[in-house]
């Protein structure tokens, strides 16, 4: 099969579209012909030598944390799937390829209304956002702040928070255009982080109370302001560290406000946990995608062989929504 391989740590130029051996499916696996996959920030980190695929180093390092495609073979112990099914799901790696093999419990059937491109753009960000908000115990009527509102996770989280009944969904982005587009998806309070202090804006909008939940992808750079923006008994989940990993802080704020802060990732979790997150998404979010209430937003589509160009584009932070790769 053809796949995109990371030949060495470096920039987009180290990605090589080449022939590699086909994956071998086990008795509980589906063998899938990939129609579309999508970029995630983790792909760029992996390409640069960080955030490697869990487990033993593969013979060919193929990035890609999600896929959508057709089942072309099923293992003897697979239940609920058949050859010809349209499926999508999470991967620990290997999505930038024409074929993938994955455990059937990590697969979800694709609604008929979704195109291959939309399906390929769905699993990683929607499962991540839904799982993160569940970890924070978000309940109807609470206020939420979502950073990087124009990112794939941000776009998903805005809509999921609304479905879960959030009374206020605030979000940050670096341009008025991104905030305007996010408002069309349900964002109530848009904050341009280049021009405004998001903590001050949140406190102003909530009469000094703050938000109950923060979904953060920035990390150190936003740490102090996040704590200021949280309400008493607020919860924050950190799903990314784009703004650095080290922060000096006054831990007294955690005690005074009785705050909860947790970190999370999907890629390195045991299969059982990823399967549980997948089933929760399938039950609570996928029906809203199928009905059209929740939108899968695609920024650009590239051919799989042009993955290097797609990586260069993602590094500019210009995208709103997902960047998709289509297998030829």
Look at residue 249 in the predicted model and tell me its pLDDT.
83
Instruction: Give yes or no for a contact between 320 and 302, defined as CB atoms under 8 angstroms apart.
Output: no
Q: pLDDT-based confidence at 248, cuts 50/70/90? A: confident
Residue 57, pLDDT > 90, answer no
Look at strands 86-90 and 66-74 and give their pairing.
antiparallel
pLDDT reported for residue 187:
98
Res. 250: pLDDT tops 90: no
Q: How many CB atoms lie within 10 A of CB 270?
A: 9
pLDDT in tens, 61-85: 999 999 999 999 999 999 999 999 9
The yes/no answer on whether domain 126-263 falls in CATH 3.40.50.720 is yes
Beta bridge mates, 237: 215, 262
| pLDDT above 90 for 241 | no
How confident is the model at residue 75, as a pLDDT?
97
pLDDT at site 328: 80
User: Predicted confidence band at 247 (pLDDT cuts at 50, 70, 90)?
Assistant: confident
> How is the chain split into domains, by residue range?
2-122+296-326, 126-263
Q: Is a pLDDT exceeding 90 seen at residue 252?
A: no
- How would you class 229 by CB atoms within 10 Å of its CB: exposed for 0-12, middle for 13-18, buried for 19 or more? buried
pLDDT (mean) for 1-6: 98
Q: Give me 22's structure tokens.
A: 């086909």
Taking the C-alpha atoms of residue 199 and residue 213, their distance in angstroms, rounded to an integer, is: 13
pLDDT tens per residue across span 281-294? 999 999 999 999 99
Q: Mean pLDDT over residues 200-206, rounded?
A: 98
What's the chain's average pLDDT?
Answer: 96
d(CA 120, CA 271): 20
Q: What is the pLDDT averaged over residues 224-240?
A: 96
Least confident piece of the model among 19-28, 32-41, 245-254: 245-254
Q: Quick one: pLDDT band at residue 52, thresholds 50, 70, 90?
A: confident
The pLDDT value given to residue 121: 98
Q: Look up residue 237 and give its two tokens.
A: 């989940």
Which residue from 80, 62, 63 is spatially nearest to 71, judged by alpha carbons?
80
**Among 324, 306, 303, CA closest to 15:** 306
2-122+296-326 classified as CATH 3.90.180.10: yes
The 3-class SS string of the chain reads: CEEEEECCCCCHHHEEEEECCCCCCCCCEEEEEEEEEECCHHHHHHHCCCCCCCCCCCCCCCCCCEEEEEEEEECCCCCCCCCCCEEEEECCCCCCECEEEEEHHHEEECCCCCCHHHHHCCHHHHHHHHHHHHHCCCCCCCEEEECCCCCHHHHHHHHHHHHCCCCEEEEEECCHHHHHHHHHCCCCEEEECCCCCHHHHHHHHCCCCCEEEEEECCCHHHHHHHHHHEEEEEEEEECCCCCCCCCCCCCHHHHHHCCEEEECCCCCCCHHHHHHHHHHHHHHCHHHHHHCCCCCCEEEEEEHHHHHHHHHHHCCCCCCCEEEEECC
Cα–Cα distance measured from residue 67 to residue 103, given in angstroms and rounded to the nearest whole number: 13
Whether residue 87 has pLDDT greater than 90: yes
């Amino acid at each position: 099969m053809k796949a995109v391989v990371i030949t060495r740590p470096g920039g987009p130029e180290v990605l090589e579209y080449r022939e590699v051996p086909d994956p071998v499916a086990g008795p509980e696996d589906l063998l899938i012909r990939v129609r579309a996959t999508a970029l995630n920030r983790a792909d760029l980190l992996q390409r640069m030598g960080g955030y490697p695929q869990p487990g033993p180093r593969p013979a060919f390092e193929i990035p890609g944390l999600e896929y959508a495609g057709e089942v072309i073979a099923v293992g003897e112990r697979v239940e609920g799937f058949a050859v010809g099914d349209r499926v999508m799901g999470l991967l620990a790696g290997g999505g930038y390829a024409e074929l993938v093999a994955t455990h059937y419990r990590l697969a979800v059937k694709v609604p008929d209304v979704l195109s291959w491109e939309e399906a390929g753009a769905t699993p990683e960000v929607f499962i991540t956002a839904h799982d993160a908000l569940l970890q924070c115990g978000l309940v109807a009527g609470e206020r939420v702040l979502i950073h990087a509102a124009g990112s794939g996770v941000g776009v998903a989280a805005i809509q999921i928070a609304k479905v879960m009944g959030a009374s206020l969904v605030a979000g940050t982005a670096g341009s008025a255009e991104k905030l305007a587009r996010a408002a069309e998806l349900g964002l109530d309070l848009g904050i341009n982080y280049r021009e405004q202090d998001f903590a001050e804006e949140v406190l102003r909008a909530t009469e000094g109370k703050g938000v109950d939940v923060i979904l953060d992808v920035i990390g150190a750079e936003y740490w102090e302001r996040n704590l200021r923006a949280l309400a008493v008994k607020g919860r924050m989940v950190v799903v990314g560290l784009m703004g650095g990993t080290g922060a000096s802080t006054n831990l007294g704020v955690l005690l005074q406000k009785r705050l909860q802060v947790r970190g999370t990732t999907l890629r390195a979790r045991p299969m059982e946990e990823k399967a549980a997150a997948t089933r929760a998404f399938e039950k609570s979010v996928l029906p809203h995608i199928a009905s059209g209430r929740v939108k899968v937003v695609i920024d650009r589509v590239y051919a799989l062989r042009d993955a290097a160009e797609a990586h260069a584009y993602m590094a500019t932070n210009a995208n709103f929504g997902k960047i998709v790769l289509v297998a030829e």
